[in-house]
Each structure stands twice: as C-alpha cells, then as structure tokens.
C-alpha cells in the first residue's frame, strides 16, 4: 500500500516536491533568460551569478545588518536589478550592434568576477539560512508531510512567472515590449523610448534572478558556487524548450525539475545528467526545441 | 611578406629550442600545451565562426584516457598519446554532430551543456579516480631516451606542438580551410554554392576536438596527473579567454594569449589567491569592450595603419 515500484510513497512524494522546487527555479531562471534574449539578443551568462548574489545578499542582510527574510525578498531583487541596470548602461549597450557571441562572452566575464568576488569575501563553504518562522514546519497531507517552505517556493515562483506572462502578453507595456522585440527601429519611430525599455528589461530580468536567489536561500546551502552549476542546467532547459514562448519555458522548467526528482528516486546515478540527456534527445528529434520556431 | 613570416617562424622555433636553458621547462611545456589547446579552439571559433563553450571536455577526456593507457594498460608513450587523442576526436564527433544542429548562441549553450554532462560522468566513473584524479602516471621512454628527464620530454612536447601548429596552418590555408571561412562569413551563401555545410562544420569540430585532445594528452605526460579541473567549464572559459585575448582568427593570437594567461596565473596564484578568477573575468570584460581584435589583431591593425594601409 505504501510502496510504488518498490519505493516508499513518502520518499517518492518527497522527491516529487523537491523536483517541483528545483523546477520552479529552472522556470524563473529560463524565463529571465528568455525575456532578456528577446529584447537584447544576449544570452546572459551572469544569470547564475546574479541568482547567487541574490541569495548571498539575503544571508549578508541577516548576518551583518539584521534584515530579515521578508524585507530581503523586496530589497535583494531591487539591488540585483540595480546592479543589472548599471551593467546594461556601462557595458552591454555597446555590444548590441555586434555578434551575439560578444554578449555571451562579456556576461561570462562578469559572472567570473561576481563569483570570484563573493568567493574571496565569504569563502566557498555553504552558509545555512533558517526558514522564516511563518513557514517552519510542514502540512500533514495524510500520505506525506509537505514542508511549508517548499510549497511557498513553488507558489511564489509560479506567481511571478504568471505575472510576467500577464504583463508581457496582456498589458499595454507588454505590447510595447513585444513591438520593440519585433522591430526596434519602427517602435522607436512611434515615439517609444526603446533604449529605456531595453535597460528596464535587463534590470527586471536579473531582478527576477535576485528574487529566485532569495527564495533559494533557506531551501539550499548558500554558497558562491551555487549559481554556476545551476546556470548550465538552465541553458540545457532553454535549449530543450526554446526561447520562443514564456509559458513554454515555465512548463519546460517545471517538468524537467520533476523528471530530475523522479530520476533521483529510480536511478540516482543519472540524476545529475538526465536533463542533458533529454537535451541530446530533443536535439536529435526536434532541433528547434519543444516550443521553438525554426529560424 | 612570406619571407618575413618564414624568418619569424624560424626565430620563434630557435627561441623555443634553447628555452629550457633559461626558463623552467615545465612552465614552457605548460604554455605549449595550452597554446596548442587554444590554437585548436581557434580553428573552430576564429576560422569557422563556431563558439564551443565546452572544449575543456576534449582536453579532459584525452588527459584521462592517456593517463589510464599509460598507467593501467602500460602502453608505450606515443601509443598512449594517440589513444587519448583518438578518444577526444571520437567524443568530438558525438558532441559535434549534436551541436551543429543549432546555430550561433544555441551552439555555445549545447556544447557547454554536453560538456557538463561528460564532466558529471567523469565525476562518477570509477576509472577517473573522482575528486582525486589519476596520479603518478609514468612518462615512459622514447627511442631509448628517458622522458622522466624534463629536458628530454621538453623536446617531445615541442615536436608535438610544432607538428600540430604546422597541421593547423596547412588546414587554414587549404581549400578546406577556405570553405570554413566561407561558412563563417556567410553560411546561407556557402549552402547555396552547393557545399554540405554540416559536413564541413563537423569535420572542423572533430579536428579541433582531436587537437585539443592531443594538448590534453601531452599535458598529462608533463604533469603526470589528470584531474577533473581539465574537464571543468572554467577551463573551457580559459581557452576562450586565451583566444580572445591573443586575437581570434589570427595565426599567432592563441599562442600569445595562452602565454600571457598561463604566465599570469603562474605569477598571481600565490599573491592574490582566489582573486585570480576576478582578474580573469576583468580581462574578459575589457577584451570584449575595448579590445576585440586581441593583442595580435590590434598590433597588426596598428602596423598596417603605420605603413599607411587601410586596416
């Protein structure tokens, strides 16, 4: 009764939940990548580093300044977003006319700098961050215990994704944004300040990563290395899903998180590589990605 | 022009021949290995326009396979190098045929992701020794010469480097190399001229992977160990940086870039500790923003301006 395929049901649902949590991070990160890529034509390698910065800031805020989780949930994304705006104004804006590869290389360099700086300041050891008391404990669902914090992470990430989707697809601002993605010159000719929108898009995109970083702080070990390992998986997620559609990246992110969680139960050795294997299969069958369009 | 180039080659070779008299041979060998690695990478980025962000995996694979062949199978040195190189080329064929299905920015992400997958396999596989790596790999002998002697080994490494460098030059200037450049400049036009672009890209990828593998195999011989660092994405980033800093698409750029970066890392390692990564990142940023032709590219442009040609 309490076992499925020889796996205790508790463990199975526990991993399913953990997969959902990871999947939510994949979803938020790949969404941010897609939004930035749409507007700036740049693959933002520093995405992982800024996600890490969000988590580290959360920890620093509590450790040194005594600022709690809820305040940091607002402050960290804003700080990371401001860092992003500075990066865009000072560096990225000079690269828009060049090959896309330069954007990747520049943000890779930035990622190394951010990661190295935090490593120099705080070392590589993981820092613990306790779960805010509102979310301590777990719900008893009868068949399993659901830690409240994990439920919050999934709900918060998905809400952010949905809000982003709504703003881009259903509001006037979003319409400007889509127009500017499609044809920047023409949109500018209609009197819309495209460079400003590009700047805000980048700020918003990396602010999302700051937000994901805060969410991740109590759920994982906070370490300067947490971002770089994640970003490579997120690249694979983006290749699998394609960057054409917002809901597409959310669905892809979540499902890959769940698949990864399930692999941990049934074939633990492959759990680190399963996303990459799926990517290889998708490349063979549908090179443009599941939701992508062939250009 | 060509006469001056020949003289430059001869001077360079002569300097390298006497180098172990002045500089610690291990350091020069390390520079040569990374220079070969960067030249192999440049064949792909500089001449075919493909940014592979996972090239360390070929370096690492060859390092492990050669290490295993020399230590466990006890193969002769040259055969060990060959086995490692072939393994890297074979892996290059697998990764290459998947990656060339996407273009541009996606190509970079696919190569990075596939390389990360192989990295995790190495982390778990029993023959790589996990976090410890393979250690105490014997160098063996060659034509009766004991390679445990650094100077003897140095001339083998130099021969490997010079031979591979020559091969890369021949490739670049061959009709095959011209087609690669055509693909870099305008892929749709190359297709419409009737070239099987995918085939050429794959061949360039395999060649580049194989030569990167040769660099990794040689590196194993020099240091007598192979570790996970060789296959890590940081190393992939390093080779991109070497090529970018030296000048991508130039003949000597990767050699200059590798020399600068290896020397810099060597000098800085004990002085600034973990800030090395920050400095590497800063060089990346500066190169991309202000210095895109790299040291060799910018020098050539300056030279041409001085003698009054248009750059």
- What is the DSSP code string of B202-260? HHHHHHHHHHHHHHHHHHHHHHS-B-GGGGSHHHHHHHHHHHHHH-TTSSSHHHHHHHH
Asked if A238 contacts B107 with a C-beta cutoff of 8 angstroms, the reply is no
**What letter does residue B52 receive in the DSSP assignment?**
-
A293: chain B residues, CB-CB within 8 Å: none
A279: chain B residues, CB-CB within 8 Å: 110, 113-114
**Beta bridge mates, A264:** none
Of residues A57, A64, A86, the one with CA closest to residue A215: A57
- CA quadruple A229, A269, A284, A294: dihedral sign: negative
Q: Do A112 and B275 touch (CB under 8 A)?
A: no
Asked if B182 contacts B201 with a C-beta cutoff of 8 angstroms, the reply is no
Dump pLDDT digits (tens) for B146-171: 777 888 888 899 999 999 999 999 99
Q: What is the mean pLDDT of chain B?
A: 88
A276: chain B residues, CB-CB within 8 Å: 113-114, 116-117, 120
Separation CA B176–CA A207 (nearest Å)? 47
Burial class (CB in 10 A: 0-12, 13-18, 19+), A70: exposed
**What letter does residue B231 receive in the DSSP assignment?**
G
Residue B163 distance to chain A (closest CA, Å): 31
Report the percentage of chain A scoring pLDDT > 90. Answer: 23
Asked if A288 contacts B106 with a C-beta cutoff of 8 angstroms, the reply is no
**What is the predicted pLDDT for the residue at B266?**
85
Region of residue A242 (phi > 0: left; psi between -120 and 50: alpha; otherwise: beta) = left
**What is the predicted pLDDT for the residue at A1?**
46
Mean per-residue pLDDT pooled into runs of 10, chain A (295 residues) = 68 84 91 86 88 90 86 91 92 84 90 90 80 78 79 91 90 88 86 88 91 88 85 88 82 91 84 86 83 63
Helices (H), chain A: 9-40, 47-60, 69-90, 100-122, 148-170, 172-182, 184-189, 194-216, 226-241, 246-266, 274-285
* Lookup: tokens for B134: 């393979």
Helix (H, G, I), strand (E, B) or coil at B274: coil
Separation CA B207–CA A165 (nearest Å)? 44
Of residues A87, A94, A98, the one with CA closest to residue A46: A87
What confidence tier does B201 reach under pLDDT thresholds 50, 70, 90? Answer: very high
Asked if A114 contacts A50 with a C-beta cutoff of 8 angstroms, the reply is yes
B289 touches chain A (CB under 8 A): yes
Which among A100, A232, A277 has CB closest to B104? A100
Report the percentage of chain B scoring pLDDT > 90. Answer: 40
Q: Do A273 and B237 touch (CB under 8 A)?
A: no
Average pLDDT over residues B292-303: 87
Asked if A118 contacts A56 with a C-beta cutoff of 8 angstroms, the reply is yes
Q: Do A279 and B113 touch (CB under 8 A)?
A: yes
Q: Which domains does chain B have, with CATH numbers?
A: 23-306 (1.10.3470)
H/E stretch holding B194 reads none
Asked if B31 contacts B239 with a C-beta cutoff of 8 angstroms, the reply is no
φ/ψ of residue A106, rounded to 5: -60, -45
| DSSP strand pairing (B141-142 vs B145-146) | antiparallel
Interface ipTM above 0.90? no
Residue B109 distance to chain A (closest CA, Å): 6
Which of the two residues, A143 and B88, has the higher pLDDT score? B88
Q: Give the count of Cβ contacts less than 8 A between chain A and B.
A: 121
- B233-246 and B275-290 helices, crossing angle to 10°: 40
**What is the predicted pLDDT for the residue at B138?**
81
**What is the predicted pLDDT for the residue at B203?**
94
What confidence tier does B35 reach under pLDDT thresholds 50, 70, 90? Answer: very high
Separation CA B157–CA B253 (nearest Å)? 20
Cβ atoms within 10 Å, residue B163 = 12
Average pLDDT over residues B286-291: 88
φ/ψ of residue A47, rounded to 5: -50, -50
φ/ψ of residue B145, rounded to 5: -90, 135
pLDDT at B311 over 60: no
Residue of chain B minimizing CA distance to A235: B109
Mutation choice for B interface testing from A100, A249, A268, A283 by most B CBs within 10 A: A283
What confidence tier does B95 reach under pLDDT thresholds 50, 70, 90? Answer: very high
Dump pLDDT digits (tens) for B111-158: 988 998 999 888 888 877 777 778 888 887 778 777 778 888 888 999
pLDDT at B1 over 70: no
B280: chain A residues, CB-CB within 8 Å: 109, 112, 116
């Amino acid at each position: 009764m309490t076992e499925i395929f020889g796996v205790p049901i508790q463990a199975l649902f526990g991993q399913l939940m953990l997969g959902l949590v990871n999947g939510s991070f994949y979803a938020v990160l790949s969404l941010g990548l897609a939004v930035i890529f749409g507007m700036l034509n740049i693959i933002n390698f520093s995405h992982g580093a800024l996600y890490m910065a969000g988590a580290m800031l959360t920890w620093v805020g509590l450790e040194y300044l005594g600022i709690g989780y809820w305040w940091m949930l607002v402050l960290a994304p804003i700080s990371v977003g401001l860092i992003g705006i500075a990066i865009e104004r000072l560096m990225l804006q000079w690269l828009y006319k060049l090959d896309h590869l330069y954007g990747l290389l520049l943000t890779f360099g930035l990622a190394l700098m951010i990661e190295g700086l935090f490593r120099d300041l705080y070392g590589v050891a993981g820092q613990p961050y306790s779960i805010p008391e509102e979310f301590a404990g777990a719900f008893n669902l009868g068949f399993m215990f659901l830690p409240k914090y994990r439920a919050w992470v999934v709900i918060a990430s998905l809400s952010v994704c949905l809000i982003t989707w709504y703003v881009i697809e259903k509001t006037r601002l979003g319409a400007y944004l889509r127009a500017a993605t499609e044809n920047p010159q023409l949109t500018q000719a209609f009197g819309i300040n495209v460079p400003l929108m590009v700047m805000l898009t980048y700020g918003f995109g990396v602010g999302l990563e700051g937000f994901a970083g805060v969410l991740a702080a109590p759920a994982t070990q906070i370490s300067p290395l947490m971002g770089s390992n994640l970003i490579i998986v997120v690249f694979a997620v983006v290749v699998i899903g394609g960057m054409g559609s917002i809901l597409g990246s959310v669905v892809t992110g979540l499902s890959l998180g769940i698949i990864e969680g399930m692999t941990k139960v049934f074939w633990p050795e492959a759990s680190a590589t399963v996303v990459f294997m799926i990517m290889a299969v998708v490349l063979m069958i549908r090179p443009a990605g599941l939701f992508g369009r062939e250009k | 022009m060509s006469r001056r180039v020949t003289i430059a080659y001869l001077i360079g070779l002569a300097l390298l021949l006497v180098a172990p008299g002045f500089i610690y041979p291990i350091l020069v060998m390390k520079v040569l290995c990374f220079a070969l690695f960067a030249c192999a990478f440049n064949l792909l980025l500089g001449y075919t326009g493909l940014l592979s962000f996972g090239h360390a995996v070929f370096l690492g694979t060859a390092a492990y396979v050669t290490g295993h062949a020399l230590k466990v199978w006890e193969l002769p040195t040259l055969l060990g190098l060959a086995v490692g190189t072939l393994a890297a080329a074979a892996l290059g064929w697998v990764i290459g045929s998947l990656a060339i299905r996407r273009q541009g920015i996606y190509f970079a992400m696919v190569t990075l992701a596939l390389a990360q997958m192989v990295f995790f396999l190495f982390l778990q596989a029993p023959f790589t020794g996990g976090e410890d790596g393979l250690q105490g790999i014997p160098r063996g002998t060659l034509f009766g010469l004991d390679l445990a002697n650094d100077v003897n080994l140095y001339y083998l490494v130099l021969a490997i480097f010079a031979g591979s460098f020559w091969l890369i030059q021949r490739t670049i200037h061959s009709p095959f190399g011209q087609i690669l450049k055509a693909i870099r400049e305008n892929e749709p036009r190359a297709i419409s001229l009737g070239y099987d672009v995918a085939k050429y890209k794959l061949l360039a990828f395999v060649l580049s992977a194989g030569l990167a593998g040769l660099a990794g195999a040689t590196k194993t011989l020099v240091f007598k160990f192979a570790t996970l660092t060789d296959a890590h994405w940081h190393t992939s980033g390093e080779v991109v940086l070497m090529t970018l800093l030296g000048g991508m698409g130039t003949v000597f750029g990767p050699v200059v870039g590798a020399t600068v970066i290896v020397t810099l890392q060597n000098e800085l390692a004990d002085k600034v500790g973990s800030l090395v990564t920050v400095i590497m990142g800063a060089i990346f940023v500066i190169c991309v923003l202000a210095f895109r032709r790299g040291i060799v590219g910018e020098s050539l442009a300056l030279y041409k301006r001085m003698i009054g040609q248009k750059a």
